[in-house]
Every structure is written in structure tokens, then in C-alpha cells.
Amino acid sequence: MTTLGREIKKARATLGWKQQDLHTATGISQKYLSRVENDKADPSFSMVVRIAQALKMDLTVLTQGMEISQASPIATTPPEEAPAPAKPQARKARA
């Protein structure tokens, strides 16, 4: 199974770029890029988008064939109804 890190590394190498070049194009630290490429860090979605744009790759191509981890399923039961807020009482006019 391929990983995101391997795909990024392969795409970078195809362009003849060093990690420093990818750092310059994305603004992501070279140290962090190294961790991503070696599957020791999970970049945020926005970082993956920045990397894909810098590598001039479609995001779907970069992530094709990868298993994406999924958070626990979203509950389908509606939350309990909250009690209605108390109505403010009218103030008495002062004389």
C-alpha cells in the first residue's frame, strides 16, 4: 500500500526538487516535510493541498489509492432538546 509521504517524495523527485525546493514553494518547514515524507507526521488537509499545488498535482492524483483514516461515525440521533429559555419579566415603572 502506498502512503501519502511516499507519493509526495516520488512527485518531488519527479520534478527534480529537493526538500528545500518544496519548502520554498509551500512555506512548510523542511524538517516537517521530511517527517511527512517518512510517514512520521500526518499533515493537515490544508498542508496537503499546499503541497499538491506546489507539486502541480491534482489532489486526487496525489492521494489516489490511499486509505484515509476516518473518525468515528457521526451520531444520527438528534441531541436532546434544550429547555426553552425563560421569558424576561416586565419591569415595573418607577414613579
3-state percent helix, strand, coil for the chain, nearest multiple of 5: 45, 0, 55
pTM of the full predicted structure? Answer: 0.66
Instruction: Encode the chain (95 residues) as per-residue pLDDT tens digits.
Output: 688 999 999 999 999 999 999 999 999 999 999 999 999 998 999 999 999 999 999 888 887 766 544 433 443 334 444 445 555 566 666 65
What grid cell was written down for 62? 496525489
Sign of CA dihedral 3, 8, 13, 14: positive
Q: What is the largest CA-CA distance in the chain?
A: 85
- The domain 4-63 is placed in CATH, from the list 1.10.260.40, 1.10.150.130, 3.10.180.10, 1.10.760.10, at 1.10.260.40
Question: Looking at the chain, how many residues does it have?
Answer: 95
Between CA 52 and CA 49 the distance in angstroms is: 5
What grid cell was written down for 6? 511516499
Instruction: Report the amino acid identity of residue 70.
Output: Q
Q: Can you give the pLDDT at residue 14?
A: 94
CB-side neighbour CA atoms (13 Å) of 88: 3
Radius of gyration of the chain (CA): 24
Q: Domain locations in the chain?
A: 4-63
